Amino acid sequence: MENFNPVANSVFSSFEIDQSYLPVAENENERFQELRKVLITRIEELIQKDVEKLKWILYRIDVNEKKVYDALAANASLHYPEVLADLIIERQIEKARTRAQFNEGPSDWSFDV
């Protein structure tokens, strides 16, 4: 996996998670697994205490509602927060890749008048 820092920063910011909760990991895959665990815990908290806030965050970070329903139907054996965490991380990775793709190279834009 790539783009851990932008993904983690976005998740921590969106879900108001203190980065100190993320344990030290040796490689990118372990770092994503630890991020997933912390995110699952935070989603569980929001489900119990403030579902509306969870819905708002999902809307704001642009997690596709149809993907949520499809993923829940396809992964009935998984716990709801696990499915959401996977979709959130997947979406944040997509956004990080898109940003990196469009930030490469010099810009063709010129604002000279």
Find out whether 17 and 38 touch, Cβ atoms under 8 Å.
yes
In angstroms, the CA 36 to CA 17 distance is 12
Q: Say what the pTM is.
A: 0.78
Residue range 35-93, pLDDT digits in tens: 999 999 999 999 999 999 999 999 999 998 888 888 878 877 778 899 999 999 999 99
What DSSP state is assigned to residue 19? G
The three-class DSSP label of residue 18 is coil
Q: What is the predicted pLDDT for the residue at 67?
A: 86
Task: List the domain boundaries for the chain.
Answer: 4-102
